[in-house]
């Protein structure tokens, strides 16, 4: 189900909050999204599908009646946005070369998990090993369309954000960090990716086989030719 939460004139960013039917948007997210000056449209889409599928379906349904803005931002329902977070990320991504597809920022988990992640310089080798970029990133709509949209394969159900950034990398696109922007994710046990360590290892091995290996093979052929 699509809900339009905010619709500014001349929006630059479509913010999509994907929800499961039993979830809702936290008060802190509703409050702190107002800390930005960039005109945005904010929608939520709720269904039983996974987060990227809900996001893609929300974008598609909204796009049937409205022109989609220049950028897409997938915003989780438990995020405390740092002051001017979206503004700073838009300023960082706007006008970048064509090979840059998205912008990512620093973030911190508080609650069930307590950990800080800094927005380091893009490192393709590191990305092939594990994901260090949050799904709460600003993406150029034009580049998302170039790779066929979000990765929504139901096989994985988790690590799909990593699959997305690997898909960008395979097509020659990278991200740009925005360390001056940040957010806090107030994590609870039921908001962390479902499944234990064995499930994670299984999904990780599938991502390596289906996404990482083809990239290594592709660039190995280029370097040898």
SS3 (DSSP) at 174: strand
Q: Which of 20, 137, 8, 120 is nearest to 75 (CA)?
A: 137
pTM for the model stands at 0.93
* Alpha carbon distances (Å) from 167 to 22, 35, 150, 196: 30, 32, 9, 25
Cα separation, 191 vs 98, in Å, equals 35
Q: Beta strand pairing status for 174-187 and 115-117?
A: unpaired
- Token pair for 124: 């393709």
Cα separation, 127 vs 170, in Å, equals 11
Q: What is the pLDDT of residue 177?
A: 99
As beta bridge partners, residue 182 has 106
Is there a contact between 181 and 106 (Cβ–Cβ < 8 Å)? yes
Bigger pLDDT: 224 vs 201: 201
Kindly list the structural domains of the chain, giving each domain's residue range(s) and its CATH number in brackets, ordered by start: 2-224 (3.90.550.10)
- What are the pLDDT digits (tens) for 15-72? 999 998 878 999 999 999 999 999 999 999 998 888 899 999 999 999 999 999 999 9
Is there a contact between 104 and 119 (Cβ–Cβ < 8 Å)? yes
pLDDT interval class at 111 (50, 70, 90): confident
pLDDT interval class at 199 (50, 70, 90): confident
Whether residue 194 has pLDDT greater than 60: no
Name the DSSP letter for residue 122. P
Q: Phi first, then psi: what are they for 204, rounded to 5°?
A: -60, -45
Name the DSSP letter for residue 21. T
- What are the pLDDT digits (tens) for 133-192? 999 999 999 999 999 999 988 777 789 999 999 999 999 999 999 999 999 998 766 555
Sequence length of the chain is: 225
Name the CA dihedral angle for 197, 113, 101, 6, rounded to a multiple of 10 degrees: 120
Is there a contact between 79 and 16 (Cβ–Cβ < 8 Å)? no
- What are the pLDDT digits (tens) for 97-110? 999 999 999 999 99
């Amino acid at each position: 189900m699509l809900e339009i939460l905010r619709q500014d004139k001349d929006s630059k960013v479509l913010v999509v909050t994907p929800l499961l039917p039993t979830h809702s948007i936290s008060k802190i997210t509703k409050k702190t999204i107002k800390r930005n000056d960039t005109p945005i449209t904010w929608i939520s889409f709720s269904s039983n599908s996974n987060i990227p599928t809900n996001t893609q379906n929300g974008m598609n349904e909204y796009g049937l009646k409205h022109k989609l803005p220049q950028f897409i931002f997938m915003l989780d329902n438990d995020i405390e946005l740092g002051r001017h977070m979206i503004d700073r990320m838009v300023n960082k991504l706007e006008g970048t070369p064509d090979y840059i597809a998205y912008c990512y920022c620093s973030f911190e988990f508080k609650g069930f998990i307590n950990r800080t992640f800094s927005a380091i310089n893009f490192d393709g080798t590191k990305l092939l090993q594990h994901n260090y970029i949050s799904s709460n990133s600003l993406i150029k709509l034009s580049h998302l369309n170039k790779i066929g949209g979000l990765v929504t394969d139901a096989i994985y159900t988790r690590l799909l954000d990593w699959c997305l950034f690997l898909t960008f990398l395979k097509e020659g696109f990278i991200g740009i960090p925005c360390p001056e922007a940040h957010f806090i994710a107030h994590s609870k046990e039921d908001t962390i990716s479902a499944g234990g360590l064995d499930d994670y290892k299984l999904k990780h091995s599938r991502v390596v086989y289906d996404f990482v290996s083809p990239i290594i093979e592709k660039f190995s052929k280029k370097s040898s030719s």
